[in-house]
Amino acid sequence: MVERIGISLERDLLRRFDRLIRRKGYSNRSEAVRDLIREKIIEQEWAAPAGETVGAVFLIYEHEAMHLSEKLTQLEHSEFHRIVSTLHVHMDQDNCLEVIVLRGPGRELKRLADRLISIRGVKHGQFVPGATGRRI
């Protein structure tokens, strides 16, 4: 069920908001406000010590980097209960991209992502927090 609400805003703030959502491609304010609220709820999920959420780690590394592949595989196996899926892409002759999807309590996922990204030889690592979609 959808309920309607009214919001009072300073004119300047509203103008800035309209500019922002136009740049982001929203066709109306309601959809933009809904997304902002969902974003805040997801932020809370990530701060909570328990509960379940999902995220993805992107790693770029050279497959010939000393022992890196072994270390990565070792860590992935020891954390199998948190790793939902991995995708390996051979980018070119030397570089690999690995996308690792994690599932579990937010704080644990962040810690695991940090461990993955800090493996010696990883050229670039990025963690993208997501949401299960259940509470939004």
Q: Which residues bind Ni ion (CB under 5 A)?
A: 63, 90, 96
Q: Considering beta carbons, is residue 33 or 101 the nearer one to Ni ion?
A: 101
Q: Considering beta carbons, is residue 62 or 108 the nearer one to Ni ion?
A: 62
| Cβ at position 48, least distance to Ni ion in Å | 35
Residues 6+ apart with CB under 8 A from 40: none
| Cβ at position 23, least distance to Ni ion in Å | 37
Q: Would the CA dihedral through 31, 32, 37, 39 be positive or negative?
A: positive
| Cβ at position 88, least distance to Ni ion in Å | 6
CA distance 125 to 19: 32
| Cβ at position 49, least distance to Ni ion in Å | 36
Q: Considering beta carbons, is residue 72 or 109 the nearer one to Ni ion?
A: 72
Q: Considering beta carbons, is residue 63 or 110 the nearer one to Ni ion?
A: 63
* Residue nearest Ni ion by beta-carbon distance: 96
- Alpha carbons within 13 angstroms on the beta-carbon side of residue 133 total 0
CA 112 → CA 28, 31, 78, 91, 102, distances in Å? Answer: 38, 33, 11, 24, 9
Q: Considering beta carbons, is residue 32 or 116 the nearer one to Ni ion?
A: 116
CA distance 42 to 131: 6
| Cβ at position 61, least distance to Ni ion in Å | 9
